[in-house]
Structure 1
Amino acid sequence: MSETTDQITDAAVTPSPTDPLWVERNGVRTYTGFSARGARVEIGPASAGAVFTPGELLKIALAACAGMSSDRAFARRLGDDYATTIRVEDPKDMTEDLYPTLTEKFEIDLSMLDDAERAKLLTIAQRAIDKACTVGRTLKAGPDIPPAEFSQPE
């Protein structure tokens, strides 16, 4: 596929900025998150079992965004079936109740590349992440988060 065809295909499946997302309460501090496309995720405290905490979702969103943003660069050089795991394991500052650092750590086999090829590919991948990872760009920009709005259900 050409670069232009790839971009058109991506645009056809990329959600609009207004695609509805919401959570519904299931019980004490447990929620299910939904998208208008039918995706769902279970959310709650770690003590609730097989759920993601909101902080874990933040980390997963960052890791997935970095992976998706760099995917073409790696696939072009390593092949469409390349494997990678991306971890974001930085600890939470319990006193401040926030993550002061979020580091994306790619586990990817680049042993078939010489040093120059490896350095070039990693530079291209990082540029792709810096340019296209909405989650990372948003976190770096420090978005405005206005107070929550409250309304009666219809």
Structure 2
Amino acid sequence: MSPVPTDPLWVERNGTRTYTGFSGRGARVDIGPASAGAVFTPGELLKIALAACAGMSSDLKFSRVLGDDYAVTIRVDGPKHATEDRYPELHETFEIDLSSLDEDTRAKTLLLAQRSIDRACTVGNTLREGAAVPPVEYVQPRAAQA
């Protein structure tokens, strides 16, 4: 496994159970419970990350046969296991118009798109392989560290 440099990611608390997530590139996202309104829940972010990763991983395969301006909506769902507080299964659905392709081209395109997703979708690969999540580490805030 070779490390790949990544921009820092962090969340900051805004109020009771509400946070803003940040990237070192300046991106931000509001996070909280569904009752907080126009925020994403952490579970929704997980699902969106999976859908976006599959879309990004398959994008070149689809654009080669459909053109750069092809449209796709990727939906992801899966019920939450109430007592275990997790998603036992997540289902992705690509809504994409392939009607302009003959059957052989359609089948080949879908095969190549799936191979690309299986090879390059970091989120899907991480979920399938069950990434280790060690216990949280607690430290003093950076400004207070001397």
TM-score norm. by structure 1 comes to 0.88
In structure 1, distance between residues paired with 2:87 and 2:53: 18
Equivalent in the alignment of 1:92 = 80
Equivalent in the alignment of 1:29 = 17
In structure 1, distance between residues paired with 2:26 and 2:10: 11
Number of equivalenced pairs: 139
In structure 2, distance between residues paired with 1:43 and 1:27: 11
Q: How does 1:1-154 map to 2 (within 5 A)?
A: 16-153=4-141, 154=143
Q: For residues 96-153 of structure 1, give each alpha carbon's deviation from its aligned partner in whole angstroms, at most 9, with x where no partner exists.
A: 2111111111000000112211111000000000000000001111111110011111
In structure 2, distance between residues paired with 1:29 and 1:141: 29
In structure 1, distance between residues paired with 2:58 and 2:92: 12
State the superposition RMSD in angstroms: 0.9
Moved over 6 A (4+): none
TM-score norm. by structure 2 comes to 0.93
Shift of 1:95: 2.2
Q: Which runs of 5+ in 1 are unaligned?
A: 1-15
Q: For residues 56-102 of structure 1, give each alpha carbon's deviation from its aligned partner in whole angstroms, at most 9, with x where no partner exists.
A: 00000000000000000000000000000001011111122111111
In structure 1, distance between residues paired with 2:75 and 2:122: 18
